[in-house]
Each structure stands twice: as C-alpha cells, then as structure tokens.
Chain A
Amino acid sequence: MSKANKGAVRPKLEQEGFFGRLSYFSSRAVANLRQNVFVSAVTVGTIALALLIASLFLLVYVNLDGMAQGWSDKVQVTAYFDQEPAPLAVAALKGRVQAIPGTAKVIFVSQAEAEKRLRSRLKGQESLLEGITQEVLPASLEIRLDREHRDNESVAAYVRKLKQIQGISEVQYGEEWVQRFNSFMNLFRLMGGLLGAFLTITVLFIVSNTIKLTIYARKDELELLGLVGATRFFIKAPFLIEGVLQGAAGAVISLLALLACYYTFLKNAGDFLGINPASAGLSFLPATHLAGIVAGGVLLGFIGSATSLKRFINV
C-alpha cells in the first residue's frame, strides 16, 4: 500500500552533540533520583556509611603512621674520629658525608662540645667527671638519615660507605633499635594493608550489592527502554550519572560525618581517654586523602552501576 507510514519526522536536534546529550542524560539522572527518592537515599546512605568506616580507619592509620615516622627520627648515625680534624678539614668531611645518598643532616661535635654535653648531662654529679679531659672524648659527626634510608639494609649500606671516609674510626647507630623499629613498622604496615584490603573488599561488596538491588528494582524501566529502541549507551548513561552523583553525595556525607566525629571525639581523644595518642593529638586527614575519598565515592558509584547494569540490559 502506498499510504505506508514513514515514521514521524524529527523536528529538532536539541540533544545532538556531546553537550546536548550530556545535558539530557544529566537532567534524566536528576529526575530519576527525584522519582526514586527512597531507593536513592538507601544507596547514598550505604555509600556514606561504608566510606565513613573506611575513612575512620584511614584517619587512625595515617595518625599512627605519622607517630611511627616521628619515632624513626631517632634513627641517627654517629661517626667518631681518631683525632679531632682541623677546623678547615671539618667542612670538607661534612661535605663528603653529605654527598652519601640518604644523608639528611650532618652536625659536627668537637671534643670541647662533647665534654660540654657530658658535663651538662651529669650536672650535680661532677665528681664522676674528675680526671676526664677533652682528649678522652672523641670528636664526631652526628648524621640524621632521610626517611627512605632508615630501614635495616639502607642503614647498614650507609654505614659501610661512611667507614670508607678517612679519619673515621668507629660508627654507631643503635643497630638493635633500628632492627626492632623496622620490624614493628613492617608489621604495622602489613596489618594496616591487610585490614585496609579487607575493608575495601567489604565496602565494594556492600555498595555494589546495594546498587545492584536498586537497579533490579528498576529493571522494568531498563527493559522498556530497550523495547522502544534505546541504545545501550542511551539506557546506561543516566544510570551511570546517577551512580556518580550518589557516590559523590555519599562521599561528601561521609566526610561531614568524619569531621563531626573528629571534632566531637577524636581531636580531644587525649582528654577523653586520659591518654594522648599523639603528642599533638590526632590530626585530621590531609587534603589529598579527602580528595581521594571523594574520588573513591564517585568511582564506587560509577563502577557499581556499570557492573550492575550489565546484568539487566538485554539490548
């Protein structure tokens, strides 16, 4: 028959092009969030709670790590000289030590300075110092290492290089303490990493299942869109934007809750518990970590939606 319908003529291409489509998908995503308030609130709440637990863990971990790093400042190498070097040679020696990779700071302690320190330490017990002269105490270099060179192997390698410098007779660095401290740090990081990994898996599992359930609740919508001729991208885009918005909202809420927890309990944890976990109290997460949590929320929402959609789109 000649009267066959050729389909409606599309009058305007308002949604053509990247920005047109993005604007349509975004407005659709916002409308979907409004039309599914309860389901959206459950998703945002789950993401917020999961991220709050993860960020609380991160806050504690970062503070403990900071404390431990503070302790590692005690890793100090002392190089003793046979004879006190001439004042002109001191600068050259310091320069040679400074040139060894891993050196953070070098202080020259002359025999006079060593005696002065000893006397001040033994104040009130001057009788013990009778007969002790400057010559008995050797001049030395007190060396602080940078953070990357405080593990057992690096310190040992550093000491070997130090011993090659002429005039240095003995090197001390509290070998046992360094070993114990590094064993503790390795255990701490391993435990932190394991706990963090378990927590991340749990968060991923809970959030992806919640998103899966919310998308399952709207499977009729997905099916219908496919049946009226929507492409996979057309169906998925608003859901993915919804996921990103929910993830971002969840992350912001979790950070606000973390801030509230911090100012209510953690900042004054020392007074609250009767002990102060860090000399300066717990510090809040740095900006990079906060940005990481928001990015994590966005990623959670996006990946959670993307993987769940795969199961329900038949087109």
Chain B
Amino acid sequence: MIQMHNVFMSYQPESSALADINLKIPKGDFVFLTGQSGAGKSTLLKLVYADLTPTRGQVLIDGVNLTRLSRSQIPLLRRSIGVVFQDYKLLPNRTVLENVAITLEVLGWGKRDIGKKVFHILKRMGLEDKVNATPLRLSGGEQQRVALARALVNDPKILVADEPTGNLDDENKEAILSIFKEANNRGTTVVVATHDRRVIENSHRTVIRLDKGRIVEVPDVQG
C-alpha cells in the first residue's frame, strides 16, 4: 500500500512542486496520475521510489516510512518497485538482454536463471527476436517494452511508470497498457503518470488529478 500524509515538496524555497498531498493507494490497485506538464506527477512518482525525499510530510510503502529510511535501506526498497522512466533509461551499449538482466543481477541471481527469466519476459513483450539487439536499433515502442520488461522482470510489488505512452502510436499504446493490466492482474500495484486523456478514459481506473502540485480530484482519498 502506498500512503502519503501531508506531503510537501520544494526544489527551491519560493516554489513548491507538491503541496499538502494526502493519498492512499491500496495493494493491487491500478491508478492513473494525471495533470498538466509541471503539475507534479513525476515528482510524486519519484517520492514513491525514494529518488526524492519530501520537504515535509510522510511517504509510506507497506507501512514503512520512507523518510526514515537510511541510505543503505533505499536499495532494498527499490528492489520491490519497478520503474518505467519517461526517457526509458536504457543503456545504449548493452544488448536488450543485458538491459533487462540488470534488475536480476542486482538481486544476485545466477547467470543461467537470469537468461531463462529474461527470455521469458521478453517473449511476453514480443521481443524474443531482439534479445541481442542494442536499444538504438529498436523503435520507440520496442524500447518502451524493453524498459517495461526491465521493470517487471522481478515481479515487483509496485510498478510506477512516468508517461509510458508519451511518444507511441495507438497500436503501441494499446500493447503497453495491456502489459500494465496483465502485471496488475498478477498482483502488482500499478501507478501510471500520464496526460493522455484517451488512455485514461478507456481504462476505467482510479484517477488522481494534480494541478500545480495539489490533488484536485481523487475519488477515494482516505488520508
């Protein structure tokens, strides 16, 4: 479960990226985070995977207060959260297999098991014939699916995605969304930040709307 209590976040003293955020996302839920550019969507996601620490307030994942985590505990938290970045963050000089394998290498998996698991997820993503390609040789949709494979390969408890459909055509958007749904059906809590209204409208899921760093619409806020 993801909880935020009175969260404020400022990059500079005079302006706040997030103000008085209170939300509760239950385990296994699928939530869209929406709002204009600069509304605070990416900042909110970064708070979830502890890339940022709130200026004020508490962020809790499964009851663990992230603001009280020591530096050595943060990696352990991140291993249970899959992240799909807006710019994919694929390593250009590593193959698709190596890019996805990173997540499992960090967990200390053996080479053979990594190979099996990565091939399995790439097959699920329809990328089994791109295993040895480098990201620069892939289309935008394929790169996004590699990023998704990397985020999902260790079956994370939470998946957060920042504008995952931003640069994709309708067909690829559909493919990506169905992967999110599949992950959610397997028990992963999914939080997707997007400003693509069509994606939200067709999904029939919970929507949290942000405006200038504040939540303006959330159907089930339980502070």
Contacts and interface: CB of A to CB of B under 8 A. Distances in A.
Contacts of B109: 10-12, 14-15
A12 B189 contact: no
B131 to A, nearest CB: 16
Interface in A1-47: 1-8, 10-16, 24, 28, 35-36
B27 interface: yes
A315 B71 contact: yes
A12 B94 CA distance: 24
B157 A6 contact: yes
Contacts of B78: 226-229
Interface string B132-155: 000000000000000000100111
B110 interface: yes
B186 interface: yes
Contacts of A6: 155, 157, 187
A223 B87 CA distance: 13
A230 interface: yes
B108 A5 contact: no
Interface stretch (B3-11, B98-106, B166-174): B98-106
Contact of B113 (A7, A12, A225): A12
A228 B101 CA distance: 11
Nearest to A24: B105
A53 to B, nearest CB: 32
Nearest to A13: B108
A195 interface: no
A5 B186 contact: yes
A16 B108 contact: yes
Contacts of A90: none
A28 B105 CA distance: 10
- Give chain A's interface secondary structure class: loop
B26 A7 contact: no
A253 B192 CA distance: 52
A227 B155 contact: no
B106 A229 contact: yes
A221 interface: yes
Contacts of B108: 10, 13-16
B75 A229 contact: yes
Q: By CB atoms of chain A within 10 A, which of B29, B109, B185 has the most?
A: B109
A230 B79 CA distance: 8
B72 interface: yes
Contacts of A227: 49, 51, 78, 83, 85, 89
Interface residues of B, number: 45
A3 B186 contact: yes
A224 interface: yes
Contacts of A234: 75, 106
Contacts of B156: 5, 7
A11 B106 CA distance: 14
Contacts of B104: 8
Interface string B55-93: 000000000000000011011111110010100010101
Q: How large is the interface on A (under 10, 10 to 19, 20 to 34, 35 or more residues)?
A: 20 to 34
B117 interface: yes
B188 interface: yes
A220 interface: yes
B110 A224 contact: no
Contacts of B189: 4
B151 to A, nearest CB: 8
B183 to A, nearest CB: 8
B75 A1 contact: no
A274 B31 CA distance: 86
Contacts of B83: 227-228
Contact of A15 (B49, B110, B150, B187): B110
A7 B155 contact: yes
B204 interface: no
A1 B26 contact: yes
B27 A1 contact: yes
B157 A230 contact: no
A35 B102 contact: no
A300 B64 CA distance: 42
A15 to B, nearest CB: 5
B110 A11 contact: yes
B93 A35 contact: yes
Contacts of B94: 35
A245 B91 CA distance: 23
B198 interface: no
A169 interface: no
10 contacts: A4-B28, A5-B188, A13-B108, A225-B102, A227-B51, A227-B83, A229-B76, A229-B77, A229-B79, A315-B71
Q: Which 3 A-B pairs have the closest CB atoms?
A: A1-B28, A14-B110, A229-B79
Given A14-B110, A228-B83, 7 more contacts: A2-B28, A5-B188, A8-B154, A10-B109, A223-B89, A228-B79, A229-B79
